[in-house]
Chain A
Amino acid sequence: MAVSLTRSAPPAPAAEPAQRRAPEPESKQRNWLHRFDNKRVPYLLFSPFFLLFAVFGLFPIVFNGIVALRNWRLDDPTLTGWAGLANFERLIHDEDFWNALVNTFGIFILATVPQLLIALMLANLLNRKLRATSWWRVGVLLPYVTPVAASTLVFAVVFSRDNGMANWLLSLVGFGSQSDPLDWRAYKWSSWIAIATMVNWKWIGYNALLYLSAMQSIPKDVYEAAAVDGAGPWRQLWRITVPMIQPVLIFTVVLSTIGGLQLFNEPMLFEENPAAASGGSNGQWQTIAQLIYKVGWKDLNLGYAAAMSWALFLIILIVAALNALVTNRLGGGRR
């Protein structure tokens, strides 16, 4: 054995490739499969998502962009062809668009800021040792489970001018009277508050649960150490809890930015005649999403509506990025 080994060793340089080549068919195939398994299969496995996204997400966005550059009116089939940037130019001079933009941001701020702050407080409370913990935790999620259409219709009654519950409450504390009730739909500020209330009601519990789940992962000894150092509950919340759940904070801020700027159902159903999509008699609370619907499906000007959608898309990107940046800075810039 040893002899044959030493004897065969000298011609090795030339023979080796040949020897290796002998078992090649099987091993190379294995190798190929192995590599395929490692390198390709993961892509194949998640490709359905991207295929579906391409069909139902990317294509519409791109197609929308193309439509935005064209004339396309449903009520006048002859008016067609490329419009260039005319739709976007019109957008810049369109009072309705700026009005809707102001409304959208106004409602967005009225809805998002209290929403996330209250959710944070609520999560902080829920994070303590309470009786019937699960009952409370499930309870805060109930508004989220309620269909928007159902809850909004109830709120529309609450905020109605005659015999509305909101006006009744106000009259109890001395504002307004039964004979001269506040018309919630008549003014910008009152309609914004009404709509922001609906949004807050729906999303506070949802965000609170997200915060809560993040809070649960904070080790208890950090709080104990802080308590030993003399930090009160308020200080603990802002100095320990908030920085430590920062990723979730950013996530909720981005999510509510997207949701807030696309606000549609609540303002739509707040209107006495929902099909009008005009957001009140003078567009007091018409949001951009509502305006897009109105321009596209009531004025039947699809090209212009597409331009508005694209503008909204860009605005959301910018605002969400800004928000994430600011939240990041506030939390100490860890990420």
Chain B
Amino acid sequence: MERFAKRGVALVAAGLAGTLAIAGCSGQSLEGGSDKAADGQITLKVNFWGDMGLDKLKAAYEKDHPNVKIVLNSGEYNAQHEDLQKKLVAGSGAPDISAVDEGFIVQFRGQSDKFVNLLDKGAASYEPKYLPWKWQQSMSADKKQIGLGTDVGGLAMCYRTDLFKAAGLPTDRESVSKLWPTWDDFIATGKKYVAATDKKFVDSGTNMFNPVLAQQPQGFYDESEALQMDVGPKVAFDVSMKAIEAGLSANLASFQPNWDQGFKKDQFATLACPAWMLGHIQDTAPEQKGKWDIAAIPGGGGNWGGSWWTIPSQGKNTDEAYKFVEWMVQPAQQIEVFKTVGNLPSQPALYKDAAVLDYKKEFMSNAPTGQIFAATAEGLKPQYLGKKNGPTRVAVENVITRVQQGSLKPEAAWPEAVKAAQKAATS
């Protein structure tokens, strides 16, 4: 008995010790996670979404800086932003460098203490190089700069020349641009296309709503963060309703598997195209090379999307991170990204650079993407995007989806959209 008892005590002790050891270990690895190996190697983790054209840049930078290793981590758009928010609050686990999009920058610049103030690292010298509004958008109220711009949206309309030809529509970009000076003309053209081919014209009503909203002087919120539905959003909503009622929409949710399938199955012939969309088209449907072209968007310019590189202050290698960010926004690298994926730089000097102006995108039927997007970007007056812009947009998009699914009548949709937006604004 006595022996057994001793063994029992020993067992319990061992068990407890084991438990503690497990807890201890995990605790250590959480905190320890040292990015610096013994030989001075530094690992920089970079989070973004989609394709930002970083593969070549990473290789080049690592070659010149043998002590730096760059880990690229591409995820889903919303998930990456939400993940960053969680890690900022938790105080650990954030990447060394994180891309932040226009739709989320307001939320993050309100937490500027959680990011490295890039002005402290000497970023002030870049201010004159950027589009003034781009520089301001990532600036916090207490004058801290949390991000350096990577790209801006700009708007154009991408279309499928082969499908247009089959429908008896013109195919060269000048004539196509003349087809639709206004959104009503665009919808009229769509009706002709649907009648001729019995296929859908646009991917979804939400991708009518978003570009039209981007063209309005005011979006969902005014600068006092009050929801303003009856000006910009109403105009955009009406256009999307008209398009759905005319039977133009294939009702495919953007950036989802069915949408990607839709590219391959020719389920739509036009797609509102901010510059960054080009990369997505060519990654999704590489076999459609030469079948796409770019025309002007109805209703003129507007901005949709565009990102910044930010450095969360919890990182251990913020100096090295800043060096890499600084290198990425240099003209040579910005042009390289522009050429690989199509993202339009946010430094206007580059719009006059021959490398951008003369560039023709082979994938898009040799369209001069530099000229097209630079023209729309320079004339931009960007909207103020409120803190709740992201959720509000999702809420209104859901109402548009309900109309497309047939579970909501178009004429009853607007009050629902207002209700959904108000709910999102106060959530």
Contacts and interface: CB of A to CB of B under 8 A. Distances in A.
Interface in A40-59: 41, 44-45, 47-48, 51-52
B407 A48 contact: no
A273 B2 contact: no
B392 to A, nearest CB: 12
Nearest to B426: A299
A296 B65 CA distance: 41
Interface stretch (A110-118, A182-190, A248-256, A310-318): A182-190
Nearest to B80: A275
Nearest to B405: A186
Given A272-B253, A275-B82, A301-B427, A45 B11 contact: yes
Given A33-B1, A36-B5, A186-B405, A44 B12 contact: yes
Interface string A289-305: 00000010111110000
A282 B403 CA distance: 11
Interface residues of B, number: 39
Interface in B408-427: 408, 423, 427
B405 A160 contact: no
A221 interface: no
A111 to B, nearest CB: 23
Given A272-B256, A276-B78, A301-B427, A34 B405 contact: no
B8 interface: yes
Contacts of A298: 78, 82, 391
B82 A52 contact: no
Contacts of B107: 75
A272 B9 CA distance: 55
B253 A41 contact: no
B89 A281 contact: no
A45 B10 CA distance: 10
Interface residues of A, number: 37
A77 B391 CA distance: 19
Nearest to B400: A281
Contacts of B405: 183, 185-186, 281
Given A74-B89, A186-B407, A48 B16 contact: yes
Contacts of B402: 186, 281-282
A103 B312 CA distance: 39
Interface string B310-336: 000000000000000000000000000
Interface string A64-76: 0000000000111
Interface string A238-278: 00000000000000000000000000000000001101101
Nearest to A299: B427
Given A51-B19, A186-B407, A275 B1 contact: no
A37 B408 CA distance: 71
Contacts of B82: 275, 297-298
A160 B9 contact: no
B33 to A, nearest CB: 22
Interface core residue of B86, B401, B405 (most chain A CB under 10 Å): B405
Among all A-B residue pairs, the 6 with the closest Cβ atoms: A186-B405, A281-B401, A37-B5, A44-B12, A299-B427, A272-B256
16 contacts: A30-B2, A37-B1, A37-B4, A44-B9, A48-B15, A48-B19, A74-B86, A75-B85, A75-B107, A75-B387, A186-B406, A275-B76, A275-B82, A281-B398, A281-B399, A298-B391
